[in-house]
Amino acid sequence: MNCYDVIVIGGGLLGCFAARNLMRYKLKTALLERREDLCTGISRANTAIVYSGYDMKPGTLKAKMCVKAAQEFGTLCAELGVRYSPCGSIMVCFGPRGAQTLRQKYEQGLESGVRGIKLLSPQEVLQLEPNISPQVVLGLYTPDTGTVIPWELGIAAAENALQNGADILLNTEVRDIVPLENGFQINCGSQTFETRGIINCAGLFAAEILEKVSSPKVRIYPSGGDYLILDTKAGGHISHVIFHEPEHKDKGLTLVPTVDGNILIGPSEVPVEEKNFFATTGEGLTALRSLVSEVIPSLPLEHLIRSFGAVRPNPFWVHQDPLSGRYVPEDKGISSFTILESTPRPFLSLIGIKTPGLTCANELGSYVAEKMAALLGNIPSNPDFNPQRPAPLRLNDLSWAERAKIIKRNPLYGQIVCRCRKISEGEIIDSIRRQPGAVTVDGVKRRTGSGTGRCQGSFCTQKIIEILAREHGCSPAEIHKDNKGSYLICKEGGSQC
């Protein structure tokens, strides 16, 4: 029997930061993730923005967390060795309704303490972003908006939790939770755990986890979104995150200058029925192109290198219909952060955490860790907690002289595998050998950036498969692209593709 003080269920951004912050206390902690890697759900596909906080209702937990997190995000990323671009943002509009909304957001931002927020005239907008349509009516600027790579952030938090003594158990799906006198028994097939407390960070499936121990309270009804990625050739076209407030009550456009120098466009908003629906839709992609022509018509869409789909959680309070017995959602979704506490045993659930979940991941992790420590009996802090996580070696961040020294010590750092991002074989091996390390092609991508450039892996994928197979002592045909079943090579006879 594996016994812990606290078990975190779910290895997305929220779960990784919950585990990291639990290690600030003297708590034996484990994180359970059903997949083969971390950050493979909501965390793998989103807009990657650190929001400044003017969009939230002043005085709410969400607003307070967001403003604080944005102002401290550079420090957090420095601690974790994560790349961060504090590029600032400009929200733009092209008519009177949008202008009224921007002025309301400006007042909200002032009330919430957003630093440096100011309204911009059309001339000021065009001075900062000359490629915006000259039809712009008003702009709203904030310097504390930034952009980060979501999975790079989450994996860094998990590594730091591991360095501080947490256990991270992958391929460990929770099948049942049984309440005990002083905690819970968690059954995961071949493994069973006992824990005094549970923090539920299961993302799109958080409601299903909660319903293993209580009646339905909140359920998640997903929606989808489409994104476009432009090559670094288009990267200089914008220098800030651009938000577009439309004149009609539709979803506007967001453009992000990414950490790697690309431009991310999206998301659209489309209905989906499945929580694992990460496909794109023609409807959503067409809508994005149309909005681009309105907001920044000169954007060179001919440099498009990829599109991808995302799933977003939309939480609703539910009630039981007296006639059918089914649980049905209330008319309006939940916009605030939903942190449910189940009694009598310590069970905290983060359900349907929407934007700005990435921004507030560390704040939310700190919040639930502190609350769990109190519920378990005022657990003392851990004086040995070390918030610093050594950053992985990134040759692109080094001078030529520094690279030469490293290559002299290990020639594998001189063997370039991903030509687009200039990622070496040494860096790919590092991503596999780190803990928790990559076991799939996408796992390597999430840790190194390989396969995200102009050719989208057409040159480097075969070599990465060979390196993964060599490091894990298996056949290349056993290497997956991502989840189970996503084989890249057919075995002899075509039995597996």
Beta strands 347-350 and 191-200 are parallel
User: So what's the pLDDT on residue 155?
Assistant: 98
State the Cα–Cα distance between residues 181 and 196, nearest whole angstrom.
9
State the Cα–Cα distance between residues 80 and 405, nearest whole angstrom.
25
List for the chain the helix, strand, coil content (%; round to 5).
35, 25, 45
Handedness of CA 382, 387, 388, 392 (dihedral sign): positive
Query: Domains (ranges, CATH) in the chain?
Result: 2-43+151-221+314-375 (3.50.50.60), 49-148+223-312 (3.30.9.10), 395-478 (1.10.10.1100)
What average pLDDT values come out for the chain (497 residues) when binned by 10 residues? 94 98 98 96 90 96 97 98 98 97 98 98 98 98 98 98 98 97 95 98 96 94 94 96 92 95 94 84 94 96 96 93 93 90 94 92 98 95 97 95 97 96 97 96 96 94 97 95 87 59
Q: Is 402 exposed, middle or buried (0-12, 13-18, 19+ CB in 10 A)?
A: exposed
Beta strands 339-342 and 347-350 are antiparallel
pTM for this model (two decimals): 0.96
In which element (H, E) is residue 370 found?
helix 361-375
State the Cα–Cα distance between residues 417 and 427, nearest whole angstrom.
9
Distance (Å) of CA 398 to CA 57, 114, 257, 260, 388: 43, 34, 22, 15, 20
DSSP 483: S
Q: Is 478 in contact with 469 (CB distance < 8 Å)? A: yes
